[in-house]
């Protein structure tokens, strides 16, 4: 479990109905294979030692005794292995018969978990053979020793006692209040399900729906293992459709009627962090039920091998999903701005348009908002304020965009006024320091604010989430506005929103927007180079935005520390950045994020569009004087 990732697998092995010895042999073969892969949690289907479709053969003592022999074989196969294994079998307790899952580790059976709810519908009628195990409480003698029988069992790793694994069986998952809900309330971070759900039209999709909902609301991992094609096909067929979920997201799935092997690494650290973050999770009442706590040793320190790490966590993966998400975000931004304009009675919206991505997005949002309000676009006052570093390309892009969108455009050059200001404060214009840069940004903001007062308007902020996280904004310059529409949109997402709007608008607007998308990211506060090109390139100074956004997401959204973040970054950006580069910008990220909190603690209102926001009023309560020493020290030692 490196960095609190649990390597899990669900496997539907080859089996023969009513042949426990054969089934145990095949299960042992799987255990050996998965042990070589470093699997820590291995789940097999419901009643896999006997076969689920034995029918009245479950009442035969010969079969039951054969299953106990088979269980002993499987248990011995786990000796000396760091692995927790769940297998299904029928277990007799005096006059009752239970459908059970055996939790096995270190060569012994830790506990027997009884199925609580039995299906009594068309395909299956378990009540003919089994008793519901909700109140099961017994001790079962096995071939070697004994094991507790209960429906409430939690297995934990002795070296990592915060990692609890619980189990439910098939129908338990489909009832209105699943046992797994109670298990999670008592600390289970991962739930396994030994199932024998037959395959029907639409059932696979329904499983996905249930698993997404169950793992999302319980903030847990879930390993679902279904019976495979070796079961009897007298009236039903089984597909070995196995799935592994984490907090509403499907990590892996085996193809129905395929190999029946499903593997993934569950981020238990994230699940525990998410539970701590959501106060509603720890505030619900919990029934006081007695649980059996079973220690085991199943966690290793193996490297990640299965986990797919998205290098752009803020950006939806599929083209169709990106377009749909972009339209939703733009509507959220526009509706929020519309409401603020209505509430304040503003006559105009005033925006500084540089020809860069952020101001372009803000202008597009303003246009949407005014269209929703039924107000003329001419009431949007778009200002181009060229200064010392303004390039011809960005200047032309800004002008062309204003014309294409039909807003009122104005150009107010600032260079001469700023030079006069330099003279007033005794600054040498040849000294290209913070004063040189920030004077331009603050003067632009003064123009916007004063023009808004003059026209009864509202200044629309253009800065994005990434700039706010890094403090890449001038305090009381572009740091300030009257409403910030981009404040929770990260830089890596901005370009997709602009692309989507370009496609929607078409025509001249699309041509201009594509030109904006092809422009180097820069604040343009330093003069262009000798060829008239942008000299001040943001990502050369503060690091690639794709790295900063990746670090921001894993720091705030998932609660990952430096070592885990760097490990994930190496997987996400393999072949693009080496470890030294990733580490350099990770240290820089922590240094800037902590040192720039004072800017975030006094930002204007702005609409939240995603799960990560830096608003001091709701999303990030952090003192401006917090030290980054712990994070930087860990990162520098990596």
In this prediction, residues 373-395 reach a mean pLDDT of 94
Classify residue 122 by its DSSP letter. Answer: S
Is the pLDDT score of 285 beyond 60?
no
Q: Could you give the CA distance from residue 131 to residue 208 in angstroms, rounded to a whole number?
A: 28
Mean pLDDT of 395-406: 95
Condensed to tens digits (0 to 9), the pLDDT of residues 140-179 reads 999 999 999 999 999 999 999 889 999 999 999 999 999 9
Ranges of CATH 3.40.50.620 domains, the chain: 319-637
Give yes or no for residue 290 having a pLDDT over 90: no
pLDDT of residue 192 exceeding 60: yes
Residues of the chain above pLDDT 70, percent: 97
pLDDT at 234 over 90: no
Residue ranges of the chain that CATH labels 3.60.110.10? 2-280
Cα dihedral 32, 36, 40, 46 in deg (nearest 10): -30
**DSSP codes, 576-606:** TS-HHHHHHHHHHHHHHHHHTHHHHTTPPPB
Q: What is the dihedral of CA 169, 269, 494, 466, to 10 degrees?
A: 160
Pairing relationship of beta strands 249-253 and 243-246 according to DSSP bridges: antiparallel
CA–chain centroid gap for 417, Å, is 48
Res 587 pLDDT > 80: yes
Q: What confidence score (pLDDT) does residue 123 get?
A: 64
Instruction: Give the span between the Cα atoms of 180 and 192, in whole angstroms.
Output: 9
- Return the H-helix or E-strand segment holding 93: strand 84-93
* Residue 320: burial class (beta carbons within 10 Å; 0-12, 13-18, 19+): exposed
Superfamily of domain 2-280: Carbon-nitrogen hydrolase (3.60.110.10)
**What is the rounded distance in angstroms from the CA atom of residue 218 to the CA atom of residue 215?**
5
Helices (H), 345-429: 357-373, 392-405, 415-425
Q: What is the pLDDT of residue 93?
A: 94
From 401, 425, 583, 616, select the one nearest 498 (Cα to Cα). Answer: 401
pLDDT at 242 over 80: yes
Report pTM: 0.92
The tokens for 463 are 């800065």
Task: Quote the pLDDT of residue 287.
Answer: 60
**Residues annotated as part of the active site:** 46, 115, 170
166 within 8 A of 192, measured Cβ to Cβ:
yes
> Given this model, what pLDDT does residue 320 score?
84
**Residue 283 confidence (pLDDT) above 70:** no
Q: Nearest 5°: phi and psi at 176?
A: -55, -45
* In contact, 44 and 62? CB cutoff 8 Å: no
- pLDDT, mean of residues 235-259: 93
Q: What is the pLDDT of residues 21-72, one digit of tens each?
A: 999 999 999 999 999 999 999 999 999 999 999 999 999 999 999 999 999 9
The answer to whether 600 and 623 have CB atoms below 8 angstroms apart is no
* pLDDT, mean of residues 395-401: 94
CATH of domain 319-637: 3.40.50.620
pLDDT, the chain, mean = 93
Tokens of 77: 């196969």
Inter-residue contact 592 to 552 (CB < 8 Å): no
Q: What is the pLDDT of residues 295-322, one digit of tens each?
A: 999 999 888 999 999 999 999 988 888 8
Other CB atoms within 10 A of residue 161 CB: 10
**Residue 103: strand pairing partners:** 86, 111
> Smallest Cα–Cα separation from 226: which of 249, 250, 203, 202?
203
Q: Is 606 exposed, middle or buried (0-12, 13-18, 19+ CB in 10 A)?
A: buried
Q: What is the rounded average pLDDT of the residues 235-240?
A: 88
d(CA 219, CA 215): 5
Q: Are 180 and 216 in contact (CB under 8 A)?
A: no
Q: Model confidence at 392, in pLDDT bands (50, 70, 90)?
A: confident
């Amino acid at each position: 479990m490196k960095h609190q990732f649990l390597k899990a697998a669900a496997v539907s092995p080859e089996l023969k109905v009513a042949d426990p010895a054969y089934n145990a042999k095949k299960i042992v073969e799987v255990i050996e294979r998965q042990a070589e892969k470093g699997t820590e949690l291995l789940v097999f289907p419901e009643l896999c030692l006997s076969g689920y479709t034995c029918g009245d053969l479950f009442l035969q003592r010969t079969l039951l005794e054969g299953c106990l022999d088979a269980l002993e074989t499987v248990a011995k196969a786990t000796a000396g292995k760091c692995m927790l294994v769940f297998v299904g079998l029928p277990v007799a307790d005096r006059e009752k018969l239970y459908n059970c899952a055996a939790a096995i580790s270190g060569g012994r059976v830790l506990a027997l978990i009884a199925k609580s709810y039995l299906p009594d519908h068309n395909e299956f009628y378990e009540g003919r053979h089994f008793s519901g195990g909700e109140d099961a409480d017994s001790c079962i003698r096995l071939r070697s020793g004994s094991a507790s029988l209960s429906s409430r069992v939690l297995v934990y790793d002795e070296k990592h006692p915060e990692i609890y694994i619980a189990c439910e069986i098939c129908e338990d998952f489909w009832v209105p209040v699943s046992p797994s809900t109670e298990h999670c309330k008592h600390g289970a971070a991962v739930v396994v399900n030994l199932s024998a759900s037959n395959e029907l039209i639409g059932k696979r999709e329904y499983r996905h729906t249930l698993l997404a909902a169950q793992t999302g609301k319980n903030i847990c991992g879930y390993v679902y293992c279904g019976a495979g094609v070796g079961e009897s096909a007298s009236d039903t067929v089984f597909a070995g459709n196995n799935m592994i979920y984490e907090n509403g997201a499907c990590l892996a799935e085996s193809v129905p009627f395929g190999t029946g092997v499903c593997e993934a690494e569950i981020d238990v650290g994230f699940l525990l962090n998410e539970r701590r973050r959501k106060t509603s999770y720890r505030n619900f009442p919990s029934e006081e039920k007695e649980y059996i706590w079973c220690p085991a040793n199943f966690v290793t320190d193996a490297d990640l091998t299965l986990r797919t790490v998205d290098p752009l966590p803020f950006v939806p993966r599929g083209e169709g999903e990106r377009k749909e998400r972009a339209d939703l975000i733009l509507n959220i931004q526009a509706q929020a701005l519309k409401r603020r304009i209505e509430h304040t009675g503003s006559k105009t919206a005033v925006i500084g348009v540089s020809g860069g991505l952020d101001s372009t997005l803000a202008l597009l949002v303003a246009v949407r908002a005014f269209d929703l309000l039924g107000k003329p676009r001419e009431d949007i006052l778009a200002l181009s304020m060229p200064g010392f570093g303004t390039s011809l390309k960005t200047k032309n892009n800004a002008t062309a965009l204003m014309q294409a969108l039909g807003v009122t455009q104005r150009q107010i050059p600032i260079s001469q006024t700023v030079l006069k200001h330099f003279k007033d404060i005794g600054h040498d214009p040849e000294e290209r320091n913070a004063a040189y840069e920030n004077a331009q940004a603050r003067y632009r903001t003064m123009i916007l604010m004063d023009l808004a007062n003059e026209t009864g308007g509202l200044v629309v902020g253009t800065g994005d989430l990434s700039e706010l996280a890094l403090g890449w904004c001038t305090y009381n310059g572009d740091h300030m506005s009257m409403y910030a529409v981009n404040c929770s949109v990260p830089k890596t997402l901005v370009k997709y929103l602009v692309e989507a709007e370009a496609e929607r608008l078409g025509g001249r607007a699309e041509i201009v927007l594509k030109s904006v998308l092809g422009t180097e990211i820069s604040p343009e506060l330093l003069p262009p180079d000798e060829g008239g090109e942008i000299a001040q390139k943001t990502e050369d100074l503060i690091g690639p935005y794709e790295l900063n956004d990746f670090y921001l997401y894993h720091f705030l959204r998932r609660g990952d520390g430096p070592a885990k973040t760097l490990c994930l970054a190496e997987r996400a950006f393999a072949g693009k950045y080496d470890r030294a580069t990733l580490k350099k910008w990770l240290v820089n990220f922590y240094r800037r994020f902590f040192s720039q909190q004072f800017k975030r603690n006094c930002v204007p209102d702005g609409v939240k569009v995603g799960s990560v926001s830096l608003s001091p009023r709701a999303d990030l309560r952090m003192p401006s004087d917090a030290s980054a020493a712990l994070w930087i020290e860990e990162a520098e030692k990596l």
